[in-house]
Amino acid sequence: MMVTMKYFHCSVALVILAFFVACTNPLSSHRSVTLPITDLVVPVSASASVPFTVRLTVVSGGCKRFERLVATRRPGEVAFEARGRDSSGPNVGCTDDIRKDPQTYEATPPFSNPFTVRAVQPDGSSVTRTVRVQ
């Protein structure tokens, strides 16, 4: 009787584990994706010691949802990547709505001249703007 209960508990544990794995399948259609940044506005020039604002527009909608803007600062540059979730896949209905999510980023000194602002696109290309630092 004791051995039978042990196998029963192991079987229940395996069923629960299989259910959990099926519900969190890494191959499921909820993928992390890079979303397009369609508008990138920076000042033409800036002071070397004064912050400036970067304005971006992130496009989402349908099965793609905007989650966060990732800013990577390096000397002489800041690069942006808009991260989101894509839930499209077989037997999934996606709406035709298009959302434009305005975002802002406060770039803080120090700046070198020229200072580059880059927006990484889903295909790996970049849109760049140059700020002349005085």
**What is the per-residue pLDDT across 16-67, written as a single tens digit (0 to 9) for each?**
544 444 444 444 457 899 999 999 999 999 999 999 999 999 999 989 999 9
Task: State the amino acid at position 105 in one-letter form.
Answer: Y
Cβ burial of 60 (10 Å; 0-12, 13-18, 19+) is: buried
Domain assignment of residue 56, yes or no: yes
Q: How far apart are CA 73 and CA 15, in angstroms?
A: 47
Instruction: Report if residue 52 sits inside a domain.
Output: yes
The pLDDT value given to residue 116: 97
Is residue 127 assigned to a domain? yes
CB 86: neighbour CB atoms within 10 A?
A: 19
What is the secondary structure of 71-84 as a DSSP string? EEEETTEEEEEEEE
Say how many domains are in the chain.
1
- Cα–Cα distance measured from residue 39 to residue 60, given in angstroms and rounded to the nearest whole number: 13
Inside any domain, residue 18: no
- List the structure tokens of 76: 């002489």
For residue 110, whether the previous peptide bond is cis, meaning omega lies within 30 degrees of 0, is: yes
Is 11 inside any structural domain?
no
Residue 13 covered by a domain:
no
Is 46 domain-assigned? yes
User: Mapping DSSP to helix (H, G, I), strand (E, B) and coil, where does residue 44 land?
Assistant: coil
Domain that holds residue 48: 31-133
What letter represents residue 108's amino acid?
T
pLDDT, tens digit, 9 for 90 and up, residues 96-115: 889 999 999 999 999 999 99
